[in-house]
Amino acid sequence: MAVAWRPLAAGLALATLLAGCSAPVRPEPPSAAPPSASVPVPAGGVSLADLGFRNGPVTAFTLPQTAVISTRVDQPNGVTVVLTSPSAPEIAGYLRRELPGTGFTVTADRESAASLTFTGYGWQGSFTGSGSSSAVILRP
């Protein structure tokens, strides 16, 4: 009788091993920072890293040095920056000029609405504003 349980135990052990091998593979999250090459901060700009952010493309994404942040969300799954200054048209103009030079691609631009979307470093971003209130949202 001692021999009869061995095939059953071996079968259970094999099934357990195979079940472990079929565990779902988790995809790598997008890189929070740009590649190792340094991205120069444009003149008159300040990086998210310099503003104290830890998530998102922190060394590549910049805002005007005069940016006044009223609200911030700094999470691995999304970064939000609400600004009260400079005006939405000024920030939109800054982003239009500087995003391409820092490795981002503008994917849509509505100049009349101070609104644009962009991608870069594994992140999608959007900017919208009206008057003295505006926001940038970055998502992986």
Residue ranges of domains in the chain = 45-139
Token digits for 92?
Answer: 């939109």
pLDDT-derived band at 73, boundaries 50, 70, 90: very high
Residue in 138, 91, 93, 97 with CA at minimum distance from that of residue 117: 138
Write the burial class of residue 41 (CB in 10 Å: 0-12 exposed, 13-18 middle, 19+ buried). Answer: middle
Burial 115-137 (b: 16+ CB within 10 A, else e): bbbbebbebebebbbeeeebbbb
pTM: predicted TM-score of the whole model, two decimal places: 0.73
- Looking at residue 138, what is its pLDDT? 98
pLDDT-derived band at 112, boundaries 50, 70, 90: confident
Instruction: Give the bridge partners for 118, in sequence order.
Output: 106, 125
Q: Which residue has the higher pLDDT, 19 or 76?
A: 76
Task: Report the chain's mean pLDDT, rounded to a whole number.
Answer: 81
Helix (H, G, I), strand (E, B) or coil at 81: strand
Q: Which CATH number fits domain 45-139: 3.40.50, 3.30.310, 2.30.30, 3.30.450?
A: 3.30.310
Q: CB of 139 within 8 A of CB of 121?
A: no
Q: What is the pLDDT of residues 15-71, one digit of tens each?
A: 433 344 444 434 344 444 444 446 889 999 999 999 999 999 999 999 999 999 999
Q: CB of 135 within 8 A of CB of 82?
A: yes
- Looking at residue 113, what is its pLDDT? 83
